[in-house]
């Protein structure tokens, strides 16, 4: 995957629509200010994408660096004029999967030496409904990702399907399962103190 | 409106958009949907990456900023895959002789080779899309290699019938090894086209390349092998397709592990360098 000489007709293909598309086309032409502007434009939402799923800001920072390294390495695969967000989130999706596997590998080799504190959601003194992050953390990994892309990053169903290499129907199914699970969780979390806590699935 | 209908409204609703009247009515009487909407619309607390982290990214990208030529259109790669497929299939058919072609009826030829062409076309399209992150898929690429195997198996079952065969294993092994002999050059030629792409899942790409190259082997066997026994074809001819797809999957997994190891090794210096 060696970067080659710049495409002579690229100027004619400079895209319309999202500002990131224009910046990405210029970044492919080695425009330093466009590259910096693209990082400033996309980093906050990529960071939120990772932080909402990983729950750790340090890990999200590492993953943000990782995703930009990968974007830089495969920037020639972006086609000028096409939507940039599915392309970026497809790379972010893979970074998240790799990190998730790495985390599982590490945790499978670690031996616990102390009792971990209980999650906040199980605190008996809470009367309010759990916030977004706590609710989302209870979802399976793939449903959580779809929900974060939809509601935190504002992607459409079609864009999520492209980013996760699946079909819009499969994305809708995952979103539906996530909402059903949230409904069950919220039902058990509403201030009826007599009801048992936990996932009513 | 039901809770299921509300899912579509939640999917498309942003913080600023207004609810349709039916959705508002449903929310009014369904507490569970109301609470889900509230949690999702409120969203998480707004977090920002650290300035030092973003500066580090700036420095790293700008240090190695060179112009790149965007990847060619998918049609170029599809043409390349077709040329690779036909070149290996034609060479294989010439080397092994077309005994099988001569014993097939016209309708059998149409069904068999149309299913092989359809399968190869679907896998070629999937490979061209996997080269570019964020491509649109009408069929999940994860299911496609298995789907193609099923399609070809059904086509074979429609055309061939079981017949008595004395040397089932020995003649079958000859077919298997002949087919696999053409899988390797097919896979190498295909990979030459793919190497500039950025497949996000090496395992999936490996299985797809393996499936595509496996179809080249099956095509050569269908042209060459005059054995019309259904079980011979299902086990030994389609065995080429199955083995090459599984081999590609294993090779892709190995490439993925090596790639990550190399990437993390080269990247370790990046994380420590300050931004300029």
Nearest Cα of chain A lies from the Cα of B246 at a distance, in angstroms, of: 21
Q: What residue segments make up the domains of chain A, in order of their start? A: 10-108, 126-191
- Predicted pLDDT of residue A198: 41
Set of chain A residues whose Cβ sits within 8 Å of the Cβ of B13: none
Question: Does residue A118 surpass a pLDDT of 50?
Answer: no
B43 touches chain A (CB under 8 A): yes
What is the model's pTM? 0.81
Question: Does residue A191 surpass a pLDDT of 60?
Answer: no
Question: Quick check: A43 and B54 CB within 8 A?
Answer: yes
B136 touches chain A (CB under 8 A): yes
Question: Quick check: A176 and B46 CB within 8 A?
Answer: no
Q: What is the pLDDT of residues A16-39, one digit of tens each?
A: 467 888 899 999 999 999 999 999
d(CA A155, CA B202) in angstroms, rounded, equals 26
- Predicted pLDDT of residue A109: 66
DSSP secondary structure, chain A, as one string: ----PPPTTGGGG---SSHHHHHHHHHHTT-HHHHHHHHHHHHHHHHHHHHHHH--HHHHHHHHHHHHHHHHHTGGGSPTTS-HHHHHHHHHHHHHHHHHHHHHHHHHH----SPPPPPGGG-TT--SPPPHHHHHHTS-HHHHHHHHHHHTS---HHHHHHHTTS-HHHHHHHHHHHHHHHHHHHHHHSS-TTSPPS---
Question: Does residue B245 surpass a pLDDT of 50?
Answer: yes
ipTM of the complex: 0.82
Topology of the domain covering A126-191: Arc Repressor Mutant, subunit A (1.10.10)
Worst-scoring range by mean pLDDT, B27-41, B150-164, B221-235, B242-256? B27-41
Set of chain A residues whose Cβ sits within 8 Å of the Cβ of B43: 132, 151-152
Which range of A46-60, B52-66, B144-158 scores highest in mean pLDDT? It is: B144-158
CATH placement of domain A10-108 = 1.10.1740.10
Residue of higher predicted confidence among A189 and B163: B163
Selecting from B69, B141, B200 the residue whose C-beta is nearest the C-beta of A90 gives B200
Identify the closest residue of chain A to B58 by CA–CA distance: A36
Question: Does residue B276 surpass a pLDDT of 80?
Answer: no
Selecting from A44, A76, A165 the residue whose C-beta is nearest the C-beta of B71 gives A76
Q: What is the dihedral of CA B18, B36, A120, A173, to 10 degrees?
A: -120
- Predicted pLDDT of residue A81: 86
- Predicted pLDDT of residue A111: 61
Identify the closest residue of chain A to B200 by CA–CA distance: A94
Tokens found for residue B12 = 């498309």
- Predicted pLDDT of residue A121: 44
């Amino acid at each position: 995957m060696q970067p080659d000489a710049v495409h002579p007709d690229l100027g004619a293909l400079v895209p319309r629509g999202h500002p990131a598309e224009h910046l990405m086309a210029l970044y492919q032409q080695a425009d330093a200010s466009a590259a910096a502007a693209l990082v400033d434009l996309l980093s906050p939402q990529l960071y939120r994408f990772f932080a909402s799923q990983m729950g750790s800001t340090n890990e999200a920072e590492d993953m943000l660096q990782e995703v930009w390294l990968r974007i830089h390495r495969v920037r020639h695969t972006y086609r000028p004029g096409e939507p940039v967000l599915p392309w970026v989130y497809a790379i972010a999706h893979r970074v998240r999967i790799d990190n998730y596997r790495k985390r599982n590998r590490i945790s499978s080799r670690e031996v616990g030496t102390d009792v971990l504190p209980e999650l906040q959601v199980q605190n008996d003194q809470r009367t309010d409904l759990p916030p977004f992050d706590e609710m989302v953390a209870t979802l399976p990994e793939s449903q959580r990702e779809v929900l974060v892309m939809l509601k935190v990053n504002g992607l459409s169903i079609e864009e999520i399907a492209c980013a996760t290499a699946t079909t819009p129907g499969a994305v809708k199914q995952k979103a539906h399962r996530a909402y059903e699970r949230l409904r069950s969780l919220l039902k058990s979390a509403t201030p009826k103190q007599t009801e048992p806590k936990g996932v009513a699935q | 409106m039901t809770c299921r209908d509300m899912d579509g409204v939640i999917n498309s609703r942003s913080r600023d958009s207004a609810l349709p009247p039916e959705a508002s009515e449903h929310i009014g009487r369904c507490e569970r949907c109301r609470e889900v909407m509230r949690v999702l619309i409120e969203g998480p607390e707004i977090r920002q990456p650290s300035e030092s982290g973003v500066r580090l990214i700036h420095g790293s990208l700008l240090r190695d900023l060179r112009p790149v030529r965007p990847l060619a259109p998918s049609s170029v790669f599809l043409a390349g895959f077709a040329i690779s497929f036909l070149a290996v299939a034609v060479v294989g058919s010439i080397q092994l002789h077309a005994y099988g072609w001569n014993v097939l009826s016209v309708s059998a030829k149409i069904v068999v080779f149309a299913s092989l062409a359809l399968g190869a076309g679907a896998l070629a399209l999937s490979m061209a899309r996997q080269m570019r992150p964020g491509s649109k898929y009408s069929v999940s690429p994860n299911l496609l290699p298995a789907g193609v195997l099923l399609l070809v198996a059904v086509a074979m079952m429609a055309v061939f019938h079981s017949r008595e065969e004395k040397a089932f294993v020995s003649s079958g092994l000859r077919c298997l090894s002949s087919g696999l002999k053409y899988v390797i050059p097919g896979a190498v030629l295909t990979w030459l086209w793919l190497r500039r792409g950025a497949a996000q899942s090496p395992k999936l790409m490996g299985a797809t390349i393996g499936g595509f190259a496996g179809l080249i082997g099956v095509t050569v066997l269908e042209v060459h092998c005059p054995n019309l026994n259904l079980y011979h074809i299902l086990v030994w001819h389609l065995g080429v397709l199955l083995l090459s797809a599984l081999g590609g999957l294993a090779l892709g997994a190995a490439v993925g592990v090596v790639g990550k190891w190399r990437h993390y090794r080269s990247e370790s210096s990046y994380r420590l360098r300050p931004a300029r």
